[in-house]
């Protein structure tokens, strides 16, 4: 029997100048902290953030910069640890984002995710916090993995006002969401009027296959920017790479690692939350991502060059 060749850190090659730019570390040094309980389930939060808050090396600004924020929704777990997706989240912080997540492994309808966003925005109003007047409350994004990706899509479908853009990674099949209470109303996706979304799956991920992601992408309203892409050789746990894969005892759970998730998701957030000019060139219907094969497959987009 012939087995498909699985991509790895040694075979995954950055394919275009935009991906190469954002797959590299950004110009901000980073720090991290663990907070007090930050949601209604009394979970603590982890925050990754630029250590020189208020500066923007991209614009040669030393003070006065308000950092966009990204909230992360975890996948299903009985106990989220500090290192869950930490390489990926620190990478985002190196591009100027304040990144926060609750250690909730059952995000479901999204109540704790909303609590987490509110917790950070409250810190930005607290004179005793290092984040005081450092957060751009008008530019907050949401990214989630697995169950957290379903929660991300669910909150998107509800036109949740606090989030400006969404990146669900490895959104699971609908029967799974019935069990863990993250079911997405496909009819609601057609009525979305706020935000934008970048669906990411893996073509070796039975839980988040091409048909599964297409089932979310297709009914999503065409009135907002929407993009879909499948990581070639990608399975369900790539986001937990550090940045490569470490054995977690589950066959094919992580084949490539975080490498393919560093470039284009960062480029998306830079476009949507920091107004980076190269966003349309990356994500337009005939943009760089659409030509990123063999690393990215099944790319769909309604984004027009601007």
User: Is the N-terminal amide bond of 243 cis, ω within 30° of 0?
Assistant: yes
Q: What is the 3-state secondary structure (H, E, C) of 195-264?
A: CCEEEEEECCCCCCCHHHHHHHHCCCCCCCCEEEEEECCCCCCHHHCCCCCCCCCCCCCCCCCCHHHHHH
Cα–Cα distance measured from residue 184 to residue 251, given in angstroms and rounded to the nearest whole number: 28
Place of tokens 């060139």: 281
Domains in the chain, ordered, with CATH?
17-301 (3.40.50.1820)
In tens digits, the chain (306 residues) has pLDDT values of 233 334 444 468 898 999 999 999 999 999 999 999 999 999 999 999 999 999 999 999 999 999 999 999 999 888 899 999 999 999 999 999 999 999 999 999 999 999 999 999 999 999 999 999 999 999 999 999 999 999 999 999 999 999 999 999 999 987 777 777 778 899 999 999 999 999 999 999 988 999 999 999 999 999 999 999 999 999 999 999 999 987 666 767 898 999 999 999 999 999 999 999 999 999 999 999 999 999 999 999 999 987
Classified as helix, coil or strand, 81 is coil
């Amino acid at each position: 029997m012939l087995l498909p060749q699985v991509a790895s850190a040694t075979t995954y090659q950055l394919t275009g100048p935009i991906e190469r730019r954002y797959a590299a570390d950004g110009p901000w040094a980073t720090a991290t902290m663990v907070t007090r309980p930050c949601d209604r389930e009394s979970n603590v939060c982890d925050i990754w953030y630029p250590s020189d808050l208020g500066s923007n090396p991209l614009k040669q600004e030393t003070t006065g910069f308000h950092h966009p924020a990204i909230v992360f929704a975890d996948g299903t777990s009985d106990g989220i640890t500090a290192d869950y997706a930490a390489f990926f989240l620190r990478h985002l912080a190196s591009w100027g984002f304040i990144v926060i997540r609750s250690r909730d492994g059952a995000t479901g309808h999204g109540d704790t995710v909303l609590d987490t966003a509110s917790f950070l925005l409250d810190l930005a109003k607290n004179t005793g916090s290092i984040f005081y007047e450092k957060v751009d409350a008008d530019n907050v994004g949401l990214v989630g993995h697995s169950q957290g990706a379903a929660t991300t899509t669910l909150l998107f479908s509800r036109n949740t006002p606090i989030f400006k853009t969404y990146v669900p990674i490895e959104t699971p099949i609908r029967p799974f969401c019935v069990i863990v209470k993250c079911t997405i109303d496909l009819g609601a996706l057609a009525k979305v009027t706020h935000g934008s979304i970048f669906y990411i799956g893996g073509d070796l991920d039975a839980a988040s296959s091409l048909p599964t992601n297409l089932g979310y992408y297709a009914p999503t309203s065409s009135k907002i920017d929407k993009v879909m892409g499948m990581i070639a050789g990608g399975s369900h746990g790539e986001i937990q790479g550090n940045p490569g894969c470490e054995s977690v005892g589950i066959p094919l759970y992580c084949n490539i690692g975080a490498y393919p998730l560093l470039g284009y998701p960062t480029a998306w957030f830079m476009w949507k939350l920091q107004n980076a000019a190269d966003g349309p060139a990356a994500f337009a219907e005939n943009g760089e991502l659409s030509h990123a094969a063999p690393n990215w497959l099944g790319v769909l987009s309604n984004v027009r060059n601007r």
